[in-house]
Amino acid sequence: MNDAKKHVIKDIVGTVIFLLLLSLGAAGLYNVFKWKDTSGDYFSSMELMYDLPDNISDVAFFGSSIVYCGINPAIFWEEDGIACFNAAISGQDREASYYYIREFVKKQSPKVVVVSGILFQTDTYLVQGNVYRNTLSMRNSRNFIDVVNSIVPDNDKTEKNTVWDYYLRWPIIHSRYKEIKKWDFIDKPENTATLGYVYSYDGIGDEPAPVMFNNEIVNEISDANKDWVDRLYALSQKEGFELLFVQLPGFLGDVQRADMNGNFKYLDELGIKHVDLNFYADEMGFDYVDDMSDGRHAKTSGAQKISAFLSEYITDNFDVADRRGEKGYELFDDAVRICKHEELSRKLMDCDDLAQVFELMNSEDGMMYSLTLKEGWNGISDEAEYILRDFIPEGNVGISGGTLVSGDGFVKEVPDGETFAYKLNDSDFMYVKPMVNGKGHYDEVLFGSAKYVSAVGNLLVIYDSVLGRVVLVKDIL
Q: Are residues 201 and 336 in the same domain?
A: yes
Q: Are residues 358 and 325 in the same domain?
A: no
Higher pLDDT, 183 or 269: 269
Residue 227 reports pLDDT greater than 50: yes
Q: Are residues 96 and 183 in the same domain?
A: yes
Q: Are residues 327 and 412 in the same domain?
A: no
CATH number at residue 332: 3.40.50.1110
Q: Are residues 286 and 366 in the same domain?
A: no
Q: Are residues 18 and 128 in the same domain?
A: no
Determine, yes or no, domain membership for 457. yes
Q: Are 249 and 292 in contact (CB under 8 A)?
A: yes
Determine, yes or no, domain membership for 404. yes
Question: Of the given ranges (121-135, 270-284, 407-421, 457-471), which has the lowest mean pLDDT?
Answer: 407-421
Give CA torsion, residues 409, 411, 417, 418, to 10 deg. Answer: -40
Q: Are residues 172 and 263 in the same domain?
A: yes
**Residue after which a domain boundary falls, among 316, 342, 368:** 342
Residue 340 reports pLDDT greater than 90: yes
> Which of 98-112, 125-139, 196-210 is the most confident on average?
98-112
What is the pLDDT, as a whole number, of residue 310? Answer: 98
Proportion of the chain above pLDDT 70, given as a percent: 81
- What pLDDT digit, counting tens, does each position of 421-459 carry? 888 887 788 888 876 554 455 678 888 888 888 766 678
> Which of 46-55, 169-178, 199-208, 315-324 is the most confident on average?
315-324
What is the pLDDT, as a whole number, of residue 9? Answer: 67
Q: Are residues 151 and 260 in the same domain?
A: yes
Within 8 A by CB and 6+ apart from 185, the residues are 32
Determine, yes or no, domain membership for 78. yes
The total domain count for the chain is 3
> Which of 179-188, 283-292, 373-382 is the most confident on average?
283-292
Q: Are residues 415 and 379 in the same domain?
A: yes
**Residue after which a domain boundary falls, among 342, 364, 382:** 342
Proportion of the chain above pLDDT 90, given as a percent: 49
Residue 4 reports pLDDT greater than 60: yes
Q: Are residues 225 and 267 in the same domain?
A: yes
Q: Are residues 60 and 208 in the same domain?
A: yes
What is the pLDDT, as a whole number, of residue 377? Answer: 58
Determine, yes or no, domain membership for 347. no
What distance lies between CA 31 and its chain's CA centroid? 20
Residue 312 reports pLDDT greater than 60: yes
Determine, yes or no, domain membership for 349. no
- What pLDDT digit, counting tens, does each position of 379-419 carry? 566 667 666 766 665 555 455 566 778 777 677 777 767 78
Q: Which domain holds residue 13?
A: 1-32
Q: Are residues 99 and 27 in the same domain?
A: no
Q: Taking residues 146-167, report their average pLDDT.
A: 80
Give the HSE-up count for residue 82: Cα atoms under 13 Å, Cβ half-sphere: 32
Give the HSE-up count for residue 52: Cα atoms under 13 Å, Cβ half-sphere: 30
Determine, yes or no, domain membership for 273. yes
Mean pLDDT of the chain: 85
Higher pLDDT, 255 or 161: 255
What is the pLDDT, as a whole number, of residue 175? Answer: 58
